[in-house]
Structure 1
Amino acid sequence: MSHAQPLTPEERLADAKKQLSLPHIVVICGSTRFMTEMAEADIQETKAGRIVVKPACDMKSPHEAWPDPVGAEGLKARLDDLHRAKIRLADEVLVVGDYIGESTRAEIAYARSLGKPVRFTHPAADSGV
């Protein structure tokens, strides 16, 4: 008599998304210098019927939520953890922009380690990753 292997958390998430009839989920990654392009990608992906998650905070721009450098560093670490959770939730990654920095490169590597498809708005940017 064989016993079925318990589902992994990833398999349980995929099953739940299927049971809930959730649309395809896309996470947008890229340098915050491309926030305008990310907003446009959000519109296009949403128009195509996909759920979109993306960065919401541009830590390079001043904001009352991160007024001091020490507090900003702690917030950035929490936001990086949150973005990795968005990658785990998503079905696919969309990298926006023609520049791939260290953080985005790490996000791409993380997504690929999870077996997530990665798409680029500028396919030439993929050659350096």
Structure 2
Amino acid sequence: MSSAQLPTAQQRLISVKRDLGLPVVVAICGSTRFMAQMAEADLQETAAGRIVVRPGCNMKEPHELWDTPEKEHALKAKLDDLHRAKIRLADEVLVVGDYIGDSTRSEIDYARALDKPIRYTHPEVDPYGA
């Protein structure tokens, strides 16, 4: 007697999104130095009928939410976790910008581990040359 494999959480999410008739969800990744380009990518992806999730905080700009090293460190950890959740939610990832730093590289590696399709606004920076 063989037991059927239970679907993974990711497989269940895909199924539910399909059952709900949701459009493709795109997670925008990249350095926050490219926030203007992310906004443009958001506009283009939205106009193409996709749901977009992207970084919502630019910690390179001053703000009272991260105006001390302690606040900045705590918020950065929360935001990293939140962005990984956005990647899990997404059907695909769009990497914006012509530079890949450690944080973005980590996001790309995470998306690859989840078998998410990845697009680049600047394909020449793809660290895997795909």
TM above 0.5: yes
Question: Displacement, 1:6?
Answer: 1.5
When normalised by structure 2's length, the TM-score is 0.95
User: Percent same amino acid among aligned pairs?
Assistant: 66
The within-5 A match list for 1:1-129 is 2-127=2-127
Tell me, which stretches of 5 or more residues in structure 1 are unaligned?
none
Question: Displacement, 1:72?
Answer: 0.7
Quick one: structure 1 residues 102 and 127, their matched pair in 2 at CA, closer, same or farther if it must change by over 3 Å?
closer
Would you say how many aligned residue pairs link Structure 1 and Structure 2? Answer: 129
Where has structure 1 moved over 6 Å in runs of 4 or more?
A: none
Question: Displacement, 1:94?
Answer: 0.2
Letter of the structure 1 residue corresponding to residue 119 of structure 2: R
**1:110 and 1:10 mapped to 2: Cα distance?**
14
Tell me, which stretches of 5 or more residues in structure 2 are unaligned?
none
**1:83 and 1:3 mapped to 2: Cα distance?**
35
Letter of the structure 1 residue corresponding to residue 31 of structure 2: S
The 10-residue stretch of structure 1 (1-10 or 21-30) with the greater mean CA deviation from structure 2: 1-10
**1:43 and 1:112 mapped to 2: Cα distance?**
25
Question: Displacement, 1:66?
Answer: 1.3
**2:102 and 2:57 mapped to 1: Cα distance?**
18
The 10-residue stretch of structure 1 (74-83 or 58-67) with the greater mean CA deviation from structure 2: 58-67
RMSD (Å), alpha carbons:
1.3
Post-superposition Cα deviations, 1:68-96, rounded to whole Å, max 9, x if no partner, equal: 11111010000000000000000000000
